[in-house]
Amino acid sequence: MSAIRNYQKELDNIIEGLEKAEVKNPPELLLHSCCAPCSSYVLEYLRPFFKITVFYYNPNISMEPEYLKRVEEQKRLISAYNEALRSDVQSELRCAAYPIDIIEGDYEPDKFFEAAKGLESCPEGGERCFACYELRLRKTSQIATDGQYDYFTTTLTISPLKNAAKLNEIGEKLENECGINWLPSDFKKKGGYQRSIELSKEYQLYRQNYCGCIYSKPERE
């Protein structure tokens, strides 16, 4: 029986290596984001060590108004974080973090319905979710390859409802396919999920109560 991996520890080791190397140019990270609240802590945590581009790609969100609301919240949070870097009030951040960019992916709900075909009745957290993870991460790996990023990863592991081991398994499979380094994570660890709740309140972020797909919404309700 294989040992349970500590993905958070693996991430800490990578960051420790970057700190010891004292790199002049930070590695470039393409971060798939599911929403602003989940990304809030992840960005706060990673931006001192990586030059981050957020990739907002979530075809699982079935209703376009919901999608548009979430993507605007993502842009608003990034704008606030970048403004803090320029602010004299928070000048200590200016040498401790890097500006954040964003790529807004296409809204492609048909891609999600195609991936979920035959899995509609699966419970939340099962095979339908795994297919959705791969859909979003595969697109992220493609963008990371085209942009020649150093790493790619996702905010999804911050959620207690998401399977971090499965997400990392998919990410590592895609790393082998595309040649871009997968950044392992379990962002809910070290108080990450609780910190995301605090930041959501601080920035008054819209915090949805379901992932966005029509199959999970009834379960949440």
Q: If we measure between CA atoms, which residue out of 45, 75, 26, 56 comes closest to residue 154?
A: 56
pLDDT less than 50: residues of the chain = 89-95
The pLDDT of residue 168 is 98
pTM of the model: 0.93
- DSSP track, 103-159: EE----HHHHHHHTTT-TTSPTTSHHHHHHHHHHHHHHHHHHHHHT-SEEEEGGGG-
- 89-116 pLDDT, tens per residue? 444 444 468 999 999 999 999 999 999 9
Buried b (16+ CB within 10 A) or exposed e, 68-88: eebbebbeebbeebbeebeee
The pLDDT of residue 62 is 86
